[in-house]
Structure 1
Amino acid sequence: MSQSLYEVLTAAIGNTPLEWVAVLTGFACVWLAARESLWNFPVAIFSCTLYIFIYHGAKLYSDRNLQVLFIALSVYGWYEWLYGGRSKTELHVSRTSRLEWIACALFVPLFTLGFGYYLTHFTDAVVQHASGSTTLLARLMPFIDSFTTAASLAAQFLLMRKRLENWWIWIMVDIIYVPVLWYKELFPTSGLYALYLGLAVYGYLEWRRAMQKQAASATLPVSV
């Protein structure tokens, strides 16, 4: 009985101290992004590096690979936020273009189906019981993993371009991640994504306020 209680407590506080460091830096990264701080990029690179090892251990291979792409996108985003505006100036918050929405709508389902198939047939992402049987949720997990990866990439790309609607996608992704990570017994990370959900709402409101402020300042008459 005491051993079972010990296992429950161990799972509740996290599998390793590494996960807790990744959780704290991950939270800091999203909060900084919501505040439009450039510091979100170096913090994101550090946090994503830690999650490469964490997700590999949890057999969330698509999310593991996602961290590598996040690191590359963070380097790109760092440059874009500094010099992506007109005449190499600071980038400001704007709306997502129709072409960007179409690209996201094509990319997400294609990646989900393709990489989900790969994870199902060529990795050990589908966890079997001792009897050799699998549950429906276990069979769907590679596709859920792939969908959250694809949607996260779409959201991250829009965030790199400072598109307001990136927060809409993050809200959807965070709602899915919370139960998935709990199912995988990554309890602190599951809790982190519950906090991410609140931060995504906060980020949307902050970015919308910033965009409205920019629009208002652009319409003010120039004094001579």
Structure 2
Amino acid sequence: MLFNAFGVPTTLIEVLGFVSGAFCVWLVARQHLANWPLGIFNCLMFIVLFAQAGLYADAGLQLVFITLGIYGWWNWVKGGGPATDTLPVSRTSRNEWIGLVGAGALGLAAIALLLTTATDSDVPFWDALTTVLSLMATYGQCRKRIESWYLWIAADIVFIPLYAYKGLYLTAILYIGFMALCVVGLLSWRRDLLKEHEPAEAAA
């Protein structure tokens, strides 16, 4: 059903994606466990929205996000080990970066080729790029790697004009808000990371 939200043509699915997505990122920034079930709901809304808009890689990406969401939910609860009941914020290791960049380059080439040859997408490269950046960022989020916020910001820089080009104006506005929330999340996680290092430095 098409209607106007804040003067912008949109649908109920896009509004539900807008609200659940914004609240989800806010919860991630606060390291609240409820971000994971809400994120899964958000993915279901975006599967429908992106498929209707012809953003097939982004639609398929939501299925991966749901799987990663289940893993992230579990890892945030159990990944801290027996000494703590929460997973601490940490940095991405050099080996992780090598693996992420390598897998990302291969994934970008493969997805772009698939979209070019098997779909009617008119934005195969950009659809593939946002897919790869989002997967890399989600991996980092599942592991509470602080660098995941930089990857989300990079993805949002591409998402915003891409969604505007596709006529998903409310979603483009949402991703501007996402980018602002990513900065908030980055600063919040950085403070926690510094706090976690203070006891070790004091002991040394």
- TM-score, normalised via structure 1 length: 0.85
- Cα pair distance change 1:56/1:86, threshold 3 Å: same
Of 197, 202, 206, the match for 2:188 = 206
Q: CA–CA distance in 2 between the matches of 1:57 and 1:69? A: 18
Identity %: 40
- Alignment-derived partner of residue 136 in structure 2: 154
In 2, Cα distance between equivalents of 1:10 and 1:43 = 22
Give runs of aligned pairs for residues 75-90 of structure 1, distance below 5 A.
75-87=70-82, 89=84, 90=86
Equivalent position SS for 1:15? strand
Match 1:39 to one of 34, 37, 46 = 34
The Cα of 1:103 is off from its aligned counterpart by 1.1
Letter in 2 for 1:79: W
**Moved >2 Å (runs of 4+):** 7-15, 86-89, 217-221
Call closer, same or farther: CA 1:120–1:210 in 2, change over 3 Å: same
**2:107 & 2:75 partners in 1: Cα distance?**
25
* Matched residue count: 201
**Native 8 Å contact 1:11 1:187 kept in 2:** no
TM-score with structure 2 setting the length: 0.93
> Residues 65-122 of structure 1: CA distance to partner in whole angstroms, max 9, x if unpaired?
1111111101000110111123374210001011110111111121111111111111
Q: What is the CA–CA distance in structure 1 between the aligned matches of 2:6 and 2:181, rounded to whole Å?
A: 25
Indicate the RMSD between aligned Cα atoms, in angstroms.
1.8
Is the 2:163–2:169 Cα contact (8 Å) retained in structure 1?
A: yes
Which residue does 2:24 correspond to in 1?
A: 29
The amino acid of 1:96's aligned partner reads T
Structure 1 runs not aligned, ≥5 long: 1-6, 127-140
Question: Offset of 1:143 from its aligned partner?
Answer: 1.0
State the match for 1:133 in structure 2. Answer: none
Shift of 1:28: 0.6
